[in-house]
Amino acid sequence: MKDEGRLKVGLVQQANTGDRTANIEKLKQNIRACALQGAELVVLQELHNGLYFCQMENTEVFDQAEPIPGPSTEIFGALAKELGIVLVLSLFEKRAPGLYHNTAVVIEKDGTIAGKYRKMHIPDDPAYYEKFYFTPGDLGFEPIRTSVGKLGVLVCWDQWYPEAARLMAMKGAELLIYPTAIGWESSDTEDEKKRQLGAWVTVQRGHAVANGLPVVTVNRVGHEADPSGQTNGIRFWGNSFVAGPQGELLAELSNNDEEIRIVEIDKTRSENVRRWWPFFRDRRIDAFGGLTERFLI
C-alpha cells in the first residue's frame, strides 16, 4: 500500500536547442523515464519548449507564445493522462494581442489543467530582458490543488523573494516549486560564479527553513548563444535541487549535464518541523505593516 505521506518527484534538467519540436520530444522521453522510475509529480524547467529568448528584444519572438489551454497543454496533458502523473509546465502565454505572461501550468493525472500561476516578479537585466516580453502576473500567490497535494508554484525570479514563498505557505502550500532559467553571463569571473550560485541555493533553502516546507527547483543547463552577439551568451548552471523543510539538501544535480532525478519527499516532516520551530506561531503580524511599502526611509 502506498504511503500517502511520501511523494516521488521527478526533476527534468535539460539543455535546449532552437528546434522546438526536438526539445518537446526530448522532454516527453524524459518525462516517461521519470514515470517509469515511479515519479508521481514531474517538474520541468522554465520556458522548457525552446531557447531562453530573453537575451535580446525582438518582437518576432512573440510568435512563439500560445494560449492556455493550447497546443502544449494538449500535448503534455495527453502524456500526463497516459502516465498517470501530475506535471508542472512552464509556458509563454498569449493572453490577448499584445498581452503575454510567463506562466506555469499544472496538469492533473487525468490530463486536465489543475491551475496556473503567472510569474509575478519580472527581471530586466543584461541578457535577461524579460520586461519586454512578460506582463507581471495577476493571479496572486495561490497554491494549486492536485491529487498529490497543494503545490506552491512560483517561477525563477520569484525565488529570490521571501514574501512570495511566505504567502504560498500561509495559504496552505505543501511544497514550493520553482521552474527556473538562470546561468552565468559571459563576463562573470569564477569567483563571481561561485557567489551567484551559492546565493541562489542559499536563499531557496532559506525559504524551506522559514516556512517548514520542501522546495523543488528545476533549472535548465547548457550554453545558449546571444542572438544579438552583444555577449557570449548564457551558460545555464543547472544545479537543480530539492531541499527538505529544514533546508537539508535531498538532491543536487549537475552543473554541466542534462539529468533526470527521482527524489522522494516525506511530506509529514513539515508538521514535525513546524512543531519544533514554530515560526508561524511567533510571527509578529501586528508589526509587519511596513512590508507593503516600497521603502521606509
Q: How many CB atoms lie within 10 A of CB 127?
A: 22
SS3 label, residue 184: strand
Strand pairing report for 99-107 and 113-118: antiparallel
Find out whether 89 and 44 touch, Cβ atoms under 8 Å.
yes
Whether 267 sits among the annotated catalytic residues: the reply is no
Question: Of these residues, 40, 46, 174, 185, which one is catalytic?
Answer: 46
The Cα 267–Cα 177 span in angstroms is 14
Find out whether 256 and 237 touch, Cβ atoms under 8 Å.
no
**Dihedral pair phi/psi, residue 116, rounded to 5°:** -145, 160
Which amino acid belongs to residue 223? Answer: H
Question: Of these residues, 26, 94, 116, 156, which one is catalytic?
Answer: 156
Grid cell listed for 194: 561561485
Whether 46 sits among the annotated catalytic residues: the reply is yes
Whether 108 sits among the annotated catalytic residues: the reply is no
Question: Of these residues, 109, 119, 174, 185, which one is catalytic?
Answer: 119
Catalytic residues: 46, 119, 156
